[in-house]
Homo-oligomer: A and B are copies of this chain.
Amino acid sequence: MVNRKNIKDVARAAGVSISTVSRVLNDSKGVREELKQKVLDAVQILGYHSNTIARALKGMPTKTFGLLIPSIENPFFPSMVRGVQDEAHRNGYSVFLCNTDGSGIIEEAQFRLLLDKKVDGIILVASKYTTKYLKKENNELPIVMMDRYVRSPNYSYVTVDHSVGVRLAMDHLRTLGHKRIAFLGSKLISSGARERFQAYKRYMIDLRSKLDESLVVLGDYTYESGIKMTEELLRRDVKFDSILCGNDLIAFGVIEVLKQKGIAVPDSISVVGYDDIAFSSYYTPKLTTVHQPTYDVGQLSAKMLIDMISGVDRRVKHIKIEPSLAIRETTLRVGSDSH
């Protein structure tokens, strides 16, 4: 740091003009091999790094992009963020991480701030507020929606195919002989929540031509909500032999309540989670859950964004990655007795 070298120093040391240095560094061709070498040597000796800020002022890329997520404290996101960052750093990008807490105001403010910081692109987990400020403000800035998205021919997204995830879980439960499968999920405020519930609904209708609404409770994607929803389900006094949860956090809440009520999992009731956060395999009993390839979603989102930025591939793409089912210890064949 002490004495930051600039392009002038390099030019002087190499005995050439600054434009030649600039040319070499941006490998625009048309520099004699000999001079090129001199410049490269000088760069080496002086330990020169070109100043990103100055380049940015000339409209060059900042090698920086923004990542807008609801909250890094939501255990669903860390590995996705990691996927984004790993791909970013592999390509020389730094990333600004911002939390929106699901607030449209914060989301838009953060988005603006990123624009001010002259990021080369933005990856965001879309909300119902996203489209508004996006169309209001955006021009050519590459944008990728990650996980939660908004249907649009203008924006790329990478997400998980929840119809597959739900089907995997339901088939598994059916195979084990379960007939009355309850659904405790999130209110339908995000693309993922909607898709999961729709897939469940369709499955049940296919099965018995109608949806038994008493089997459904909708809340939030939290442990506390899992607890409340289970209590609500129990209060209804409806028969069920298994529960499909909207995410793993809900599942933990579910299992906790069932345990308190002396209802054994999986012996009496089978429980399936959704997400497969790291914790699900540390839990006792280990949670059977739909595995979302979150790291891959993050990585692919970043790759797509970088391709858009660099101009390698500017096309709008809509990608759904297939989830898988992690069968562990919270589901059991109906009528079996593990005791």
Contact = CB atoms under 8 A, between A and B. Distances in A.
Contacts of A51: 57, 116, 118
A113 B97 CA distance: 16
Interface in A114-145: 114-118, 137-139, 141
A79 interface: yes
A54 interface: yes
A213 to B, nearest CB: 28
A150 interface: no
Given A72-B72, A278-B75, A96 B95 contact: yes
B52 A117 contact: yes
Given A78-B78, A81-B72, A284 B283 contact: yes
Contact of A98 (B49, B64, B89): B89
Chain A: number of interface residues, binned into ranges: 35 or more
A309 to B, nearest CB: 16
B116 A282 contact: no
Interface in A217-253: 223, 249, 252-253
A99 interface: yes
A97 B99 contact: no
Given A283-B284, A284-B259, A139 B81 contact: no
A268 B238 CA distance: 38
Contact of A57 (B2, B57, B96): B57
B223 A282 contact: yes
Interface in A47-74: 49, 51-54, 56-57, 62, 64, 71-73
A99 B85 contact: yes
A73 B64 contact: no
A139 B1 CA distance: 6
Given A1-B137, A94-B114, 8 more contacts: A51-B57, A52-B116, A52-B117, A54-B57, A73-B278, A75-B278, A252-B282, A283-B284
